[in-house]
Amino acid sequence: MRKKPKLSKNVGKDIVLCKTTNRIVSRRTTSLLLEQSVPFSKTYHRVPLFLRHNYNGADIIYVFSINRTQYSHARRVLSLLEEHDYNRLSLNVI
């Protein structure tokens, strides 16, 4: 009998890297992560009307998720963003 291949313990362990409500910053972050070959997934969540005051009137939140093993590399890549774009990101700290 053959043994099943073992997967790494970090397979399927995606974490949130950052969030933003600005569409332009989202596009710039996406292009930077793609240029630097960082694997990520980007989703968006609609903000209900009664919660928009928490997000300064924004109706969409863009969420960038990465694998746990790529976190430190992705944070270094995000530091390459321009300062005013970097300040618009809400970074999650592990």
pLDDT in tens, 18-77: 999 999 999 999 999 999 999 999 999 999 999 999 988 999 999 999 998 899 999 999
6-10 long-range Cβ contacts below 8 angstroms, 24+ apart: 10/67, 10/68, 10/69
CATH number for position 53: 3.30.70
Does residue 22 lie within any of the structural domains?
yes
Q: Please give the tally of structural domains in the chain.
A: 1
Range of the domain at 40: 14-91
Reference 66, options 89, 46, 37, 27; nearest CA is: 37
Please check whether residue 47 lies inside any domain of the structure: yes
Between CA 37 and CA 35 the distance in angstroms is 6
pTM of the model: 0.82
In-domain check, residue 61: yes
Whether residue 70 is contained in a domain is answered as: yes
Residue 4 domain-assigned?
no
